[in-house]
Amino acid sequence: MVAVNPAVHKILSYVPFLLVLIDLRYEGVCGKDESLGNHLEMGKKLLAAGQLADALSHFHAAIDGDPENYMAYYRRATVYLAMGKSKSALPDLSKVIELKPDFTSARLQRGNLLLKQGRLDEAESDFKKVLNSNPSDKDENEAQSRLMKSDEIQRWVTQSRANFDRKDYITAVAHLDLIIETCVWDVSSRELRAECFIQMGEMGKAISDLTAASKLKSDNTQAFYKLSTIYYHLGDHEMSLNEVRECLKLDPDHEQCYSHYKQVKKLNKQIQSAEELIQQQRYGDAVSKYESVIKTEPNVPQYSHHAKERICHCLAQEQQDVSRAITVCSEVLQSDPQNVNVLKDRAEAYLLDEQYEEAIKDYETAREHSENDRQIKEGLEKAQRLLKQSQKRDYYKILGVKRTAQKKEIVKAYRKQAQQWHPDNFQDPVEKKKAEKKFIDIAQAKEVLTDPEMRQKFDNGEDPMDPESQQGGHHQNFHSGFQGFNPFSSGQFNFKFNYQ
């Protein structure tokens, strides 16, 4: 038996372990290849079935397993395109071309994406390389067609910019429309068209293009700034604030956005505070707050107009300065004659000022623009009743007080009128008779206007002392008794002024 060298014996003892390791390594490679194939095949099936999110997961796994597999990138790009995520598809297509430069389909796909983004020179480069790569007839025809379209768009781009520089915005927009029809993701063309719309005064269209531009370009602070300023000058302070905040999220130190933000925030806070005061029926404070709004932004008519509209409303509701309410409301209606809310507010002010015919006119005008408004219908009916009532007997006029007079003012006016028209002050029978009638009217006026329920009825156009108006109401007997009994006919009536 041959003796084995101890060193050789030691080496031979490791051989079984080496064989196991080699076997395991071989199995790992096979397992890896099999897993990669499974992911690609499964992703392909899920893509065909429209299960895009699941397909994407498998292609992610395939790329993680083999970062050099160009087909995994191509399949993933296909899923991204199906999901509308062109920005994510473009790097994958570029990776495919890097790994396999002769992959014509990937180059055509990338060229089309670059064309849609308005990257015309890069798109043309891809289309030309396809044509120089001995492509199929189908790929050749597509590349040739897209190359011609790109050349045509290049001319439109030149023409649109020249027209813009000449301030021929209509023609510039016409060319930009043709460009964007193909280059749907072209940020620069949309921004230029938005600027044309701004110059043409078509702010809604400008907003649409700038909104798209802000989404197509991830760091487009200028688009957010322009959106904010447009909304601001349209009078939409809330949208303006939203857009300028988006700008500052991207760049907190953006000088234009920060300056504009401070102005919009201040104005927005004042308007919100004023509306809260109106909700709390603190109309006087709300008027002051809206006067501050006018001072904060005197150069944008929309804010002054809105502030005056709300001041008109507050003054009409407060009922303290009726003449000013009418003046402010009238000022708003000069520039906006169909403003239903202001027409209603001025009508209310006219009622308080006893200008019933003017109130009726405002309610009728408001009704023409808002037929189903219940408030208008009720206000018109009230104004018509008050006009009819004023042509008969007006207790406020009898006492010489305003419709907004408090009870103390009414009692004071009553005492003054009662002293003046007391029948004992008159000796002539004719004058005495006249005084007696006047004195009864004064007493009735005091009775109605110091009783909250009766006063409310009278303010709504119903005379609580009129039997016809009452239709059998509980005040009819009082009125009949008052008229049937003449305390002055005996000539012995001694009146003492002790009315509360």
- CA–CA gap between residue 438 and residue 418 (Å, rounded): 9
Question: Which residues have a Cβ under 8 Å from the Cβ of 175 and sit 6 or more positions away?
Answer: 156, 157, 159, 160, 163
Give me the mean pLDDT over the 417-424 stretch: 88
pLDDT of residue 33: 63
Give me the mean pLDDT over the 389-411 stretch: 85
78-122 confidence digits (pLDDT tens): 999 999 888 899 999 999 999 999 999 999 999 999 999 999 999
Q: Specify the amino acid at residue 361.
A: K
Give me the mean pLDDT over the 238-262 stretch: 96
Question: Which residues have a Cβ under 8 Å from the Cβ of 121 and sit 6 or more positions away?
Answer: none
- CA–CA gap between residue 193 and residue 485 (Å, rounded): 86
- CA–CA gap between residue 419 and residue 93 (Å, rounded): 102
Q: Specify the amino acid at residue 195.
A: E
HEC letters along 228-277: HHHHHHCCCHHHHHHHHHHHHHHCCCCHHHHHHHHHHHHHHHHHHHHHHH
pLDDT at 485 exceeding the cut of 50: no
* Phi/psi-derived region of residue 354, left when phi > 0, alpha when psi is between -120 and 50, beta in every other case: left
Give me the mean pLDDT over the 247-260 stretch: 96
Alpha-carbon dihedral angle through residues 21, 27, 30, 31, given to the nearest 10 degrees: -120
Determine contact, residues 328/315, Cβ cutoff 8 Å.
yes
Contacts 24+ apart (CB under 8 A), 222-225: 222/191, 223/191, 224/250, 224/257, 225/254, 225/256, 225/257, 225/260
pLDDT of residue 469: 59
pLDDT of residue 7: 54
As given in the structure block, the two tokens for residue 191 are: 């921004």
pLDDT at 378 exceeding the cut of 90: yes
pLDDT of residue 396: 86
pTM score > 0.85 for this model?
no
Give me the mean pLDDT over the 427-450 stretch: 85
Best CA proximity match to 349, nearest among 331, 369, 367, 370: 331
Q: How confident is the model at residue 225 (pLDDT cuts 50, 70, 90)?
A: very high
Alpha-carbon dihedral angle through residues 10, 15, 20, 25, given to the nearest 10 degrees: 110
Residue 109 buriedness (CB in 10 A; 0-12 / 13-18 / 19+): buried
As given in the structure block, the two tokens for residue 236 are: 């939409």
- CA–CA gap between residue 477 and residue 230 (Å, rounded): 67
pLDDT of residue 464: 85
Q: From the centroid of its chain, how far is CA 261?
A: 18
- CA–CA gap between residue 164 and residue 184 (Å, rounded): 20
pLDDT at 470 exceeding the cut of 60: no
Give me the mean pLDDT over the 248-266 stretch: 96
Question: Which residues have a Cβ under 8 Å from the Cβ of 484 and sit 6 or more positions away?
Answer: none
42-67 confidence digits (pLDDT tens): 988 888 898 999 999 998 998 998 99
- CA–CA gap between residue 214 and residue 156 (Å, rounded): 23
Q: How confident is the model at residue 294 (pLDDT cuts 50, 70, 90)?
A: very high
Integer distance in angstroms from the first to the last C-alpha of the chain?
144
* Residue % of the chain over a pLDDT of 70: 86
Domains and CATH numbers, the chain: 34-149 (1.25.40.10), 396-500 (1.10.287.110)
265-293 confidence digits (pLDDT tens): 999 999 999 999 999 999 999 999 999 99
Q: What are phi and psi of 58, to 5 degrees?
A: -70, -40
As given in the structure block, the two tokens for residue 363 are: 């309610």
pLDDT of residue 70: 92
